[in-house]
Structure 1
Amino acid sequence: MKTFSKSLLVGLLAIGFSSAASAEEIQVAVAANFTAPMKAIAANFEKETGHKVTPSFGSTGKFYAQIQNGAPFDVFLAADDETPAKLEKENGIKAGSRFTYATGKLVLWSAQEGYVDDKGEILKKNTFSKLALAQPKLAPYGLAAEETMKKLGLYDTLSPKFVLGESIGQTFTFISTGNAQLGFVALSQVYEDGKLKSGSAWIVPGNLHNPIRQDAVILTKGKDNKAAAEFTKYLQSEPAKALIRTFGYDV
């Protein structure tokens, strides 16, 4: 009996050590708009696989520059489809790894209750002093905001009031702290489970800007990383897609 128990213990320890040895770590560059869903997805993935995910959040444009300069990322979740396509043409990704993981939605948001009406008429009234948006050259959501205002014929009128964030995350901070009365952010930053978490908002109709298709790729550094392949596969799974939808994205 003692011999059996000892053998069983040795076997269980061997399995544990083998599992730990096969676990890998991946560095993931993530567009700031996807911060909340990424944290939830990473936690679920780590629990299921034992792999460790270390995410970094920021603007797509800055991540592209960092990747070009040798930043040690294995996977890149961009806020557009153009940047990953560019990296693909430059042979900077694992062949065949590019896919759209989400389609984002733009929202005009204020931290103040009742400040933004549900049709965005406040933009035409122009009664505010500061309007925040992400830098269009760095962040696709900023570009979508710019396209929206031009489509509405309000860009020239409103541009003197712009407060530009380096990323959609910084833009959200400008608004949430009151440094700007309102601004354009990602729906995922202010909605959860289909409900507005705080303040007031207008969900911008999709016909006012180009689609915000967000693509993911395995970068050259991560092409032989087993965890990177498993993570991108998990990102396309039904549980991950269901979670992504709860943050206001289309999948």
Structure 2
Amino acid sequence: MKPSRLISTLLVALVATVSNAQADEISVAVAANFTAPMKQIAEVFEKETGHKIQAAFGATGKFYAQIKNGAPFDVLLAADDETPTKLVKENAAVAGSQFTYAMGKLVLWSVKPAIVDQAGEVLKKGGFDHIAFANPKLAPYGAAAVETLKSMGVYDTLQPKVVTGESIAQTYQFVSSGNALLGFVALSQVLKDGKIEGSSWVVPAKLYSPIRQDAVILEKGKGKPAAEALMKFLKADKAKAIIQSYGYELS
């Protein structure tokens, strides 16, 4: 092999070695409503940084319990701001790392057309056997659904018809499968290319408390380059564009 080619080969190997040494892998707990955007964000993030993400999706309340019991998560992308705040106060997350990455929107949705009207009057008229929403004790979107029903004065009336999912993902399955004719889900779950199939009502923000979704680095992720890089990436324009494309607002 010619000296010049040998040097070139060695340089490529050296760059690859340095790159691999700098690459990091993190475990990220992600609120179920953020599944689709996170998968897209992770793909871009990994290509641009070389870092790897192992993502788990589920209910924020369940993640809190798992983190407190020692689950090896490095970062939490919650469906609320209360859980990250609590983890920081309990020294289970890094102070100063918390920020709002998205503002969630609640939608009443049916996979069938002409079921949900544009004013949510179906909740008062009835004509359905089951309505689904996520467990309000575990999922902020479930809590928002309860607030909405109470704001409309129909919570007590509809209680016998309620089917509760352990997460917003399971709630979506109840509705998409037809086991519940309609239900409250995250707008991000049903918005495809700017459109929603079936019938829907985007619930006015005045009917429920703001769904401020915060990210935070957990104690196990403290000092990890990939954790810090992910937080930075979530604030960048590319990530913001993806987040907004799924119907979220930015704080």
* Same fold? TM cut 0.5: yes
Aligned twin of 2:61? 61
Aligned twin of 1:23? 23
Shift of 1:193: 3.5
Unaligned runs of 5+ in 1: none
| Residue pair 1:77, 1:216 contacting (<8 A) in 2 also | yes
Q: Map 1:40-51 onto structure 2 (within 5 A).
A: 40-51=40-51
State the distance in 1 between where 2:167 and 2:195 align. 23
State the distance in 2 between where 1:226 and 1:192 align. 33
State the distance in 1 between where 2:163 and 2:216 align. 31
Partner-residue secondary structure (3-state), 2:247: coil
Q: Map 1:115-126 onto structure 2 (within 5 A).
A: 115-126=115-126
Unaligned runs of 5+ in 2: none
Q: Map 1:232-247 onto structure 2 (within 5 A).
A: 232-247=231-246
Aligned twin of 2:228? 229
State the distance in 2 between where 1:70 and 1:18 align. 32
Tell me, yes or no, if structure 1 residue 142 matches structure 2 residue 142.
Answer: yes
State the distance in 1 between where 2:161 and 2:235 align. 40
Return the letter of the residue paired with 2:85: A
| Residue pair 1:114, 1:200 contacting (<8 A) in 2 also | yes
* TM-score, scaled to structure 1: 0.98
State the distance in 2 between where 1:17 and 1:231 align. 22
State the distance in 2 between where 1:169 and 1:146 align. 17
* TM-score, scaled to structure 2: 0.98
Aligned twin of 1:203? 202
| Residue-by-residue CA offset, 1:93-140 (whole Å, 9 max, x unaligned) | 112000000000000000112211111111111110000000000000
Q: Map 1:59-98 onto structure 2 (within 5 A).
A: 59-98=59-98
Partner-residue secondary structure (3-state), 2:119: coil
State the distance in 2 between where 1:157 and 1:9 align. 73
Moved more, 82-91 or 100-109: 82-91
Return the letter of the residue paired with 2:246: F
Return the letter of the residue paired with 1:127: G
Shift of 1:211: 0.2
Fraction of identical pairs, as percent: 62
Partner-residue secondary structure (3-state), 1:221: helix
Aligned twin of 2:156? 156
Return the letter of the residue paired with 1:10: L
Aligned twin of 2:184? 184
State the distance in 2 between where 1:224 and 1:70 align. 18
Partner-residue secondary structure (3-state), 2:73: coil
State the distance in 1 between where 2:126 and 2:89 align. 43
Aligned twin of 1:217? 216
| Residue pair 1:84, 1:215 contacting (<8 A) in 2 also | yes
Partner-residue secondary structure (3-state), 1:103: strand
State the distance in 2 between where 1:126 and 1:25 align. 49
Return the letter of the residue paired with 1:112: K
Return the letter of the residue paired with 1:147: E
| Residue-by-residue CA offset, 1:191-240 (whole Å, 9 max, x unaligned) | 033221x2110000000000000000000000021100000110111111
Return the letter of the residue paired with 1:97: S
State the distance in 1 between where 2:236 and 2:2 align. 45
Aligned twin of 1:249? 248
Shift of 1:92: 1.0
| Residue pair 1:192, 1:248 contacting (<8 A) in 2 also | no
State the distance in 2 between where 1:195 and 1:44 align. 24
